[in-house]
Amino acid sequence: MIEAGETEGALDGPLRLVAEAADAGVRLDRFLVGRVDTLSRSRLQALIRAGCVRGSAGTLVDPGCKVKPGDAIEIELPPLEAGSPEPEHMDLAIVFEDAHLIVIDKPAGLVVHPGAGHATGTLVNALLGHCGDSLRGIGGVKRPGIVHRLDKDTSGLLVVAKSDVVHHGLSEQFASHGADGRLSRRYLAVAWGVPLQSHGRIDAPLARSQSNRTKIAVVRGEAGRHAVTHYDVLDTFDDPRGKPLASLIDCRLETGRTHQIRVHLAHIGHPLLGDQTYGSHFAASARRLDGKAQKILEALGRQALHAAHLGFEHPVTHKPMSFDSPLPADLAALVDALRTQ
Report the 10 Å Cβ neighbour count for 254. 17
Q: Quote the DSSP letter at residue 264.
A: H
Helix (H) or strand (E) holding 29: helix 28-35
Catalytic residue from among 29, 151, 153, 164: 151
Q: Which long-range contacts (CB under 8 A, 24 or more apart) does 25-31 make?
A: 25/66, 25/67, 26/66, 26/67, 27/63, 27/64, 27/65, 27/66, 27/67, 28/53, 28/60, 28/62, 28/63, 28/64, 28/65, 28/66, 28/67, 28/73, 29/63, 29/64, 31/67, 31/73
The question of whether 153 is a catalytic residue gets the answer no
Whose CA is closest to 139, among 108, 162, 109?
162
Q: Do 201 and 214 contact (CB within 8 A), yes or no? A: no
Tell how strand 72-75 and strand 101-106 pair up. Answer: unpaired
Catalytic residues: 151
